[in-house]
Structure 1
Amino acid sequence: MLKVQEIRELIKLVDESSISDFSYEANGTKVSMKKENGEVVQVAAPQVAPAVDTKPEPQVETKTAEPKQEAQPKEEPKEEAPASTVDFDHEIVSPMVGTFYESPSPEDDPYVQVGDNVDASTVVCIVEAMKLFNEIEAETKGEIVEILVDNGELVEYGQPLFRVKKK
């Protein structure tokens, strides 16, 4: 039987990925999720009470050999980032889904900070995906004017990481 936290993690992973259907079966438990229009929706879960929220909640179908009451995972609403007033010409974006790291190790200084000058081959961060640490290069010459993500934060494909004022 899957634990509620494991179901929440599965929902989050499916919601953040580009897959549209997901099914998992183990030890008499089956979990199925399907996304429509980019959001995880209920496939069939007659025992789950509907959530009261302004955003549709991801819902999961769970079948077991014996009937049990299910707990509905709750997702926190995402906060909107305030509009930036920083002057920039280029955004360095994440080439993959993964975890953003600002330095090669926790004891080291960050690769770059606001105000640092970079050229096209300057390593600005690492994005870790599936235990592989990928160095991300600036790919442009200029000055870092804004860092848009925090160390250890999960980033999406194409998500802006840094803003650069070209020189």
Structure 2
Amino acid sequence: MEIEKIRELIKLAKEEDLKVLRVGDMDTEVHIETKGGRDTVVTEHSGKNKASADGGQDGLHTVKATQVGTFYTHKEENSTENFVEAGDTVSSGDQIGMIEAMKVFNDVLADAGGVVEEILVGNGETVEYDQPLVMLRPKED
């Protein structure tokens, strides 16, 4: 998306006193949040369905954050039980955590099978879009 179009969206959000404006198409999503018509935050995601990428480090696979928010490794608020621990075997589609954004909890799913080598983010830490969360060693067939 062109920067001029993003500037127009920011201006629109301020003029209409919108708290949140989200616009997207097949490849790009722009999320704008304002606080009382000032302080604007813009997040642009290209290829928003991309959940992870190969880490390249010793053949490890990196599961990355699909959005900005607070990452939770614990299954419940007052629990110490994690979704996964280092050494656990996961399959594609298994839940490995949650990201909370604007009071909405979104599951973080493994997009590949393997053994959890390392959890890179602690429970309750803020994460950025595309930030590495978990390193997996792919299963050898």
Fold similarity call, TM over 0.5: yes
Please say if residues 114 and 144 of structure 1, whose CA atoms lie closer than 8 Å, have aligned partners that are also in contact.
Answer: yes
Alignment of 1:111-150 (within 5 A): 111-150=83-122
Segments of structure 1 that go 5 or more residues without pairing to the other structure are 1-17, 26-30, 36-85
Q: What is the CA-CA distance between 1:23 and the residue it aligns to? A: 7.5
| One of 91, 105, 116 as aligned partner of 2:62 | 91
Name the SS of the counterpart of 1:140 in structure 2: coil
Q: Which amino acid aligns with 1:92?
A: V
Tell me the equivalent position of 2:72: 101
Q: Which amino acid aligns with 1:159?
A: Q
Q: Which amino acid aligns with 2:91?
A: D
Distance, in Å, in 1 between the alignment partners of 2:71 and 2:39 is: 30
Q: What is the CA-CA distance between 1:89 and the residue it aligns to? A: 2.0
Distance, in Å, in 2 between the alignment partners of 1:131 and 1:155 is: 15
Alignment of 1:38-77 (within 5 A): none
Tell me the equivalent position of 2:134: 162
Name the SS of the counterpart of 2:79 in structure 1: coil
Segments of structure 2 that go 5 or more residues without pairing to the other structure are 1-29, 43-56
Q: Deviations over 1:76-111 (max 9, x none)?
A: xxxxxxxxxx74421000100010000221325100
TM-score (norm: length of structure 1): 0.49
In the TM superposition, structure 1's runs of 4+ consecutive aligned residues that sit over 4 Å from their partners are 22-25, 31-35
**Over the residues paired in the alignment, what is the CA RMSD in angstroms?**
2.7
Q: Give the fraction of aligned pairs with identical amino acids, expressed as a percent.
A: 35
Which structure has the larger Rg over C-alpha atoms? 1
Q: Deviations over 1:18-67 (max 9, x none)?
A: 889x6845xxxxx56799xxxxxxxxxxxxxxxxxxxxxxxxxxxxxxxx
Rate the CA distance shift 1:34–1:134 in 2: closer, same or farther, 3 A.
closer
Which of the two has greater strand per residue? 2
Q: Which amino acid aligns with 1:122?
A: D
Please say if residues 143 and 166 of structure 1, whose CA atoms lie closer than 8 Å, have aligned partners that are also in contact.
Answer: yes
Rate the CA distance shift 1:157–1:32 in 2: closer, same or farther, 3 A.
closer
Rate the CA distance shift 1:111–1:24 in 2: closer, same or farther, 3 A.
same
